[in-house]
Structure 1
């Protein structure tokens, strides 16, 4: 569900693994202390119950909410996603301004965790592009399907043009599409190259691109990489005493200003990485790039 042992050569890969990234020693001592603290365990269980309960409550209310006007539904989605993230114990800070509502928009962001999706939906709800395996995830898969997720087959490169056409159709109809162009999750200390395919949809639809940067502190608590089980990631998130997410909304990039999808993808990547000087100077990947591709993360396609 979280990765494969024989990835297709065209798929994006990252050197991030749970052992090197999600359990990085910079916060291992804090995590061990929390696990040995009964009060910390009670707090973690409470957060887990609250988070899953908030998700399930939203699922139960989804059918009647579908009868409401579109603008009202989007407002409810934003409040619901904020409630979900907060229930899991995540403190969130948004910086910058989102593009005006009411028009087509391709939202692109770096990819660190499953938390990225509700964080973006809390401010820029739209149809997220995700791998088909997500549909089979317990609870969260149903949530994704109800949210209009565009599921694609990562193993089928021949399906990619059709996916781009579907995205362009949503955008041309005035909708919003959210995609993670790195194609897989990275731990946050280092990022992958933005794949250009999704940006063709923005060019075809004549819409702008909204770059979004997501940072977590501590980074390793949120990282959902490699073959990390979803349950382990959930427990790591609720167990940390304080997990903070900073979501930076960059200036929208008018697609018409760029000659092709590669130029637009490069501009979006520069916008997302514009404050990379604030990252730690020594990346975990400078010590582990020899890891095999089979251990790489394989999350969300682009």
Structure 2
């Protein structure tokens, strides 16, 4: 990717093999508008085939991750009338968000969510499709939809995948709000920091570990993990064995083996470009 796409709701910055995506609507606690959904989708589409980008860090500006859907967009959809043969505007708005978080979920990149302040509704869903989620001390997580008379339509399946049906039921049906420590216990986030400095140190350690892992092997591993539970085990293991054979014969497998024998870091661990 020669240049980053222009975005109005996101701040984009590439540092070495990492793309930092900052949700930038602090006046509304980074509530997710249709424009933001479209811009996030565009960013993830454009980086998918960019082998130089290995990780994406998603965070929010102004002390909040994302407070959920934008009420203005909801009001706008309410005022729209569906033309004959067109989908309901509420359906279009909701489904566009679901397509975006599915895209983030299935991205070949390692997606890291840095959660602070409000992590609600759609923001909660976005955190649940990250590969690594880190929480700051101010984080508050929740699925408040039922308390607003609506349903967590697009995020609920991803929450169930993240923490299991039992805990998802409790959070969704009671509209609970929980802190970072409980989110960590439930498996929504992997680590909870006690300070902003500790949060940044955690992120640095995660990015360092990503640098030590081969990019193609990492992408193939993520794809394999997503297939578990959706395919018959025997066929899945047959396919995985084929992928293993390709990997060990490929350039990364050769370099990784040689680096191990020569007791040196592999080439991808030394790359800062």
Q: What interval of TM-score do these two structures reach, taking the shorter chain for normalisation?
A: 0.3 to 0.5
Larger Rg: 2
**TM-score, reference length from structure 2:** 0.32
